Amino acid sequence: KAGVTQTPRYLIKTRGQQVTLSCSPISGHRSVSWYQQTPGQGLQFLFEYFSETQRNKGNFPGRFSGRQFSNSRSEMNVSTLELGDSALYLCASSLDTAKNIQYFGAGTRLSVL
Amino acid sequence: QKEVEQNSGPLSVPEGAIASLNCTYSDRGSQSFFWYRQYSGKSPELIMFIYSNGDKEDGRFTAQLNKASQYVSLLIRDSQPSDSATYLCAVNTAAGNKLTFGGGTRVLVKP
């Protein structure tokens, strides 16, 4: 069974640009969550989608947005990039049982210059 | 107070010894608790999850949960150099399908 797939693995952008990251969950998993990981702040929750609906959102500015498609694949978008957006962006999927067991993809490492 | 707290370490352990990691959480309504292992430059890998008070064993790993005291711990028996990594504690809070992570404990197993 294939795991969570994130593309691209690496990205280099400049300030002010926007970026779109993609995540394909484990087959059968309908919940997709996004996290940002930085050395200073650790792993922080961005948002969670289920059945194309955002169910939960973390404390990030509106420049961070996402969506989920009918096949459960998800994308996140960051507009007007800032230097502080440089991070590892992780996607995790779960079957959405009450226990919320999440499995992570390899991540997308974004560098903003 | 942080929602999920861990000692950042590093926790230095001789090969073959037991590594003991602790995690405390603030939300009393939390239901699910997870331990992830993260090697440098890699993504988190799920190693244990626990829902009920008490111990849960899986190979060399044992997770312990005490909801009354709001802590969860991880024991790694017969520690190997390959266990050297950062261990992240995560809690599924009562607020919904959202994992809140601690800052992680770095473990170094020395041959």
DSSP track, B46-108: EEEEE-SSEEEEETTEEEEEETTTTEEEEEESS--GGG-EEEEEEEE-TTSS-EEE---EEEE
Q: What is the pLDDT of residues A54-107, one digit of tens each?
A: 998 999 999 999 999 999 999 999 999 999 999 999 999 998 667 889 999 999
Q: Where are the alpha helices (DSSP H) in A26-72?
A: none
Matching residue, tokens 């049982």:
A97
d(CA A25, CA B104): 25
Residues in chain A within 8 Å Cβ distance of B9: none
What strands lie across the sheet with A64-68, from one edge to the other? A5-7, A19-24, A74-78, A64-68
Are B99 and A99 inside 8 Å of each other by CB?
A: no
Residues in chain A within 8 Å Cβ distance of B51: 99
d(CA B108, CA B111): 10
Residues in chain A within 8 Å Cβ distance of B95: 56
**A48-51 LR contacts (CB < 8 Å, sep 24+):** A48/B96, A48/B97, A48/B98, A49/A74, A50/A96, A50/B97
∠B75-A40-B107 over CA atoms, to 5°? 20
Question: Chain B interface residues facing chain A, Cβ-Cβ under 8 Å?
Answer: 31-32, 34, 36, 42-46, 49, 51, 88, 90, 92, 95-104
Report which DSSP code applies to B22: E
Question: Can you say how many angstroms the Cα of residue A31 is from the centroid of all Cα atoms in its chain?
Answer: 12
Distance from CA of A73 to the nearest CA of B (A): 18
* pLDDT at position A97: 67
Beta-carbon contacts below 8 Å between A and B: 62
Q: What is the pLDDT of residues A15-54, one digit of tens each?
A: 999 999 999 999 999 999 999 999 989 999 999 999 999 9
Q: What is the pLDDT of residues B19-46, one digit of tens each?
A: 999 999 999 989 899 999 999 999 999 9
DSSP track, A83-106: GGG-EEEEEEEE---TT---EE--
Are A56 and B100 inside 8 Å of each other by CB?
A: no
d(CA A32, CA A22): 11
Residues in chain B within 8 Å Cβ distance of A58: 98
